[in-house]
Copies of this chain bind each other. A is one copy, B any other.
Amino acid sequence: MAEQRTAPPTVYDVAAASGVSIATVSRVLRTPDAVREGTRDRVQAAIRLLGYVPSGNARALAGKRTGVIGLLLPGFDVVPDERPGLVTDGGVRVVDDRRHVTQPFASNLYFDEVLRGAETEAWQRGLALMVAAGRGPSRDVIVNDVAGRVDGLAVLAQTVPDELLEHVARRVPVVVLADDRRSHGFDSVSVDNAAGMRTLAAHVIGRLGIRSIAYVAGPIDSPDDQERSAGFRQALDDHGVEPRSVRTVHGDFGRARARELAVALLADSPPRAIVCSNDQSALGVLDAVLAAGLRVPDDIVVTGFDGIDAGRFSAPRLTTVHQPMGELGRAAVVAIVDRLERREGPPRAVRLPVEVLLRESCPPTL
């Protein structure tokens, strides 16, 4: 097996072996019905015999389309997890792994889901998917490389600098994910951050009737945070809650910082609810609240945003707004296919709905 010493067979080889012209070989592959049965059989036999696999590159070149879609992700940051206390035993490492509850790396899982969604949708439509994580200094090369091989490109927000993106966009349609950049003229698919937060906050304020609220925001320059905060303010407005009555602090979307901020918030008169702009922050808040001896949700309810895995495993489990990452990936492919069929026309922005998941940290009712 795995011979393949000599050059792979081509249409010419198949044609010669079956006594037809290369055109007929091509037909057998692409429009089998246009070939007489006997001929077709002979050609197919030759294909099998020779182990012929058509060159996708030649096809793409001749056919003016590749049938491949590119997906650019912002780099998998593979953090090698250093674990202590190793013992070696017969070539197999034995590790004392008690109590080291490794934190699942949220952002990575997030990409995985997008990727999976895109893959699913692409293959369903007979398209192949080319994945690349644009990282490091060679990013330009990579991006150009991918752009040169695909029919369309889906790019996760902040993965590729504008200039580069605009360059490659002159060759292939580009759709930007999770970042409403219509302004830049690209198609986009994003998630309805504002509506999600607004609905969640409405639950806290309207349904649970809580008025004593603190809000842990993210970095001010984060577009995600801005949208979520806007949704939050909307909810306040909807329910006639005075914005100034809400203590707002800005974190960095990280767990540790949120924990510190929460400690401070609890120092004075603890609020009845702490709404957070993302899950990591909410987990940090949870840490602080529980450490302070307060009960969740009995004394304080806590909410997050994102729907990361860690929130499903926390104690109590985290109420949050779940972003449909898999859908994001699928929608990206759909958007590209769409654009491919509709070469012209103004950029389109697709908004994906989110889902509020009420879990123990802020239940349906108190």
Q: How many copies does the complex hold?
A: 2
Using CB atoms, name the residue of chain B closest to A136. B123
In the complex with contacts A48-B167, A95-B356, A186-B2 CB distance below 8 A: yes
The segment out of A101-109, A221-229, A245-253, A260-268 that lies at the interface is A101-109
How many residues of chain A have a CB within 8 Å of chain B? Answer: 103
Q: How far is the CA of A170 from the CA of B10 in the complex (A)?
A: 12
Kindly supply a per-residue 1/0 record for chain A positions 127-169, scoring 1 wherever the CB is within 8 Å of any chain B CB and 0 otherwise.
0111111010010011011111100000000000000001111
Flag if B128 contacts A173 (CB, 8 Å).
no
Tell me if B149 and A57 are in contact (CB < 8 A): yes
Residues on B with C-beta less than 8 A from A326 are 78
Q: Is the CB of B53 within 8 A of A5?
A: no
Q: Does A12 contact B (CB under 8 A)?
A: no
A68-B5 Cα distance, complex, nearest whole Å: 20
Which of A8, A53, A173: most chain B CB closer than 10 A? Answer: A53
Q: Which of A16-24, A31-39, A86-94, A279-287 contacts B (4 or more CB under 8 A)?
A: A86-94
Cross-chain contact B358 with A98 (CB below 8 angstroms): yes
- The contact sample of 20 A-B pairs, CB cut-off 8 A, is A1-B166, A2-B173, A2-B347, A3-B170, A4-B172, A68-B149, A76-B120, A78-B326, A89-B199, A90-B198, A92-B354, A95-B355, A97-B357, A98-B317, A101-B317, A115-B131, A120-B133, A128-B145, A129-B130, A309-B309
Q: Are B76 and A119 in contact (CB under 8 A)?
A: yes
Contact, CB under 8 Å: B171 / A53: yes
Asked if A304 is at the interface of the complex by the 8 Å CB criterion, the answer is no
Q: Which residues in B have their C-beta under 8 angstroms from that of A196?
A: 92
Closest partner residue, chain B, to A165 (CB atom): B1
Q: Contact mask A55-78 → B, CB, 8 Å, 1/0?
A: 111111100001110000000101
A133 contacts B149, C-beta separation under 8 Å: no
Q: Say whether chain A's binding surface is mostly helix, strand, loop, or mixed.
A: mixed
Interface string of A193-219 (1 = CB under 8 A from B): 001101100110000000000000000
- Does B169 contact A4, Cβ atoms closer than 8 Å? yes
Q: In the docked arrangement, what's the CA distance between A52 and B170, Å?
A: 8
Q: How far is the CA of A263 from the CA of B258 in the complex (A)?
A: 45
A244 at the interface (CB under 8 A from B): no
Which B residues are CB-close (under 8 A) to A179?
A: none
* Residue in B9, B68, B167, B169 whose beta carbon sits within 8 Å of that of A130 in the complex: B68
Residues of chain B within 8 A (CB-CB) of A170 are 3-4, 8-9, 50-51, 53
A168-183: contact bitstring with B at CB < 8 Å (1 yes, 0 no)? 1111111000000000
**Which residues of A approach B to under 8 Å, CB–CB?**
1-5, 8-9, 48, 50-61, 66-68, 76, 78, 89-98, 101-102, 104, 108-109, 112, 115-117, 119-120, 123, 126, 128-133, 135, 138, 141-142, 144-149, 166-174, 184-187, 192, 195-196, 198-199, 202-203, 309, 312-313, 317, 321, 326, 343-344, 347, 353-360, 363-364
Complex interface: chain B residues within 8 A of A192 (CB): 91-92
Contact between chains at B133 and A131 (CB < 8 Å): no
Q: Which residue of B lies closest to A150 (CB)?
A: B56
Judge whether A129 and B131 touch: CB under 8 Å. yes
**Whole-angstrom distance between the Cβ of A340 and the nearest chain B Cβ:** 11
